[in-house]
Amino acid sequence: MFRADGRFIRNLEKINAKLDSYTFLKILTSGLTMILPVIIVGAFSSLFANFPLNSYQNFISEHGIKTIFSMGGQFSTSIISLIAVISITYTYVNKYDIHSIIPSIISVIAFLIMTPLSIIEEVSYIGFEWLGSAGFFVAILTAFAVGGIYTKMIKNNWILKMPEAVPSMVSQSFAGLFPSAVIVTLAMIVRYLFSLTSFGSIHQVIFTIIQTPITNIGNSLWALLLITLLSRLLWMIGIHGMLVLMPILLTVFMPLDLQNLEAFTNGDPLPNIVGLAFWILCTSIGGGGATLGLNILMAFQSKSKQYKTLGKLSLPSGIFGINEPLIFGIPIVFNALYAIPYIISPLINLVIGYFVIKIGLAPAPSGASILGMPIPIFFVGLLQGSWKLGVLQLFFLLIDTIIYYPFFKVADDALYKEEISNES
C-alpha cells in the first residue's frame, strides 16, 4: 500500500515518536491502565450481582449474597475517581524517581477536600456521586497538579531537612511535610474559591464545562467510527494504532463505560451504547481488524500450504483475540489487498452493533473494560452482561468471514499457483 521506507511512512514515524515523547500522555496512559484490573474486578462483581436470570436472582437475593456481590462493584467502579487519582499521582512521581506513597496519599486528601459534601439531617458526608465517573476529570487534574507540585518542590529541595543522624526512613517522611502542607492548603483555597461561584465546586465546573462536552462528542457512533478508521489505517502502515490512540480511548470513552458500569451495579438502565466496551465487543473479533473469520478461512479453506499452516498456527491465539501472528505473518501490514477488509470489517460491525442495540434486540454493554484481556468471543458478550451480546459477536464473525472471503480467495489462489510453480 505504501513503501515501508517512503517519505510518507518516515513522516508518520516521526509524528508517532513525537507523540510517544510527551510525558503527559505517557503518564496519563500508564496511570489509567493501572486501574483496569480494579474495573475488571468490579465488573465481575456487578455481573454476579445482576446476571439476568430470574432463578439465580431469587437465590442470591434470598440468601443475602446479592448485597455482598454488589459491594464489589460499589467499592471499585463507584469510587474509580478516587482510585485514579492515586494511580496517576503514583505514576507521575515514579517517573521522576520520587517515593510515591506520600504524594499518592496527599492527592487523595486534596481530591476529597475539593469534593462537595452531601447533607442529610444536618450531618455532612461524602457521597459516591463525585467519587465515580462524574469526578473522573477532576481526579486526572488533581493527580497531575499534586504530582507536579510535589515533584518540583522535592527536586528543588523545598523540604524540611533533618539532621544526618536521623534514620533515612524518618527523613523521607518529613521531606514530604512541607510539600504536603502546601498542596493541602492549595486544595482548601480551590474549594473555597469555587464555593463562591454559582457552580459551587470545582467538580461541577469541570463536569459541566469540560467532561460533559468531551463525553458528548465521544458518545456517538461517528466518533467511534473515526477512531476505528484511524487505528486501522495506522496499523496498515506498521504503526500500532491502539497505542497511539490510547490516551483518547481512555479519557473520552472510559468515562462512558464507567457511567454504564455504575448504572449496571445499581440495577439502573444503562445510559450509553458507545464506549470502550462497545468498541472492543464489535471490533476485536479475533483481534484488531476483526480477523478471526480470515483466520478460520486460512486454517480450513486454504489450498496454499503456507496459508493453511499459518492459519492453524494462528487460530488458537486468534480465538483469544491475539492476531499479531496473522498481521505480520501474511502480512496484512503494507498489504493493499487486505487493506479493504481489514478496515471495513470493524466499521461494519460497529454500525450493525449500534443499531441492534438501539432498536432493543440486545442490551447495551455493561461497561466492563476487558482491554488487553485474552477472552474468546461470545464470552466477551457474557461479561458485558448478556448472552445476546455473545450471540451478536458470533453474528459479527459470520459477517467478517463473508467480507474477508473474496480477498482471501484471491490471495490464496495466487500463493497456491506460486507454490505449484516452485514445486515443478
Q: Are 328 and 289 in contact (CB under 8 A)?
A: no
Is residue 273 scored above 70 in pLDDT?
yes
Which helix (DSSP H) or strand (DSSP E) does residue 229 occupy? helix 221-236
Distance CA 105, CA 90 (A): 9
How does pLDDT run across 308-336, given as a tens digit for each residue?
A: 999 999 899 899 888 888 887 888 877 88
Q: Are 333 and 324 in contact (CB under 8 A)?
A: no
Is residue 9 scored above 60 in pLDDT?
no
Q: What angle do CA 359, 364, 370 make, to 5 degrees?
A: 150
pLDDT, averaged across the chain: 86
Query: What SS3 state is found at 3?
Result: coil
Is residue 381 scored above 70 in pLDDT?
yes
What sign does the dihedral 158-172-112-203 (CA atoms) show? positive
Model pLDDT, residue 126:
73
Q: Are 249 and 57 in contact (CB under 8 A)?
A: no
H helices within 35-99, ranges in order? Answer: 36-50, 54-62, 65-74, 80-95
Q: Which residues contact 197 (CB under 8 A, 6 or more apart)?
A: 205
- As a dihedral over the C-alpha atoms of residue 148, residue 149, residue 152, residue 155, rounded to 10 degrees, the angle is -110
How does pLDDT run across 116-174, given as a tens digit for each residue?
A: 887 766 666 777 788 888 888 899 999 999 999 999 998 888 877 767 666 666 677 77
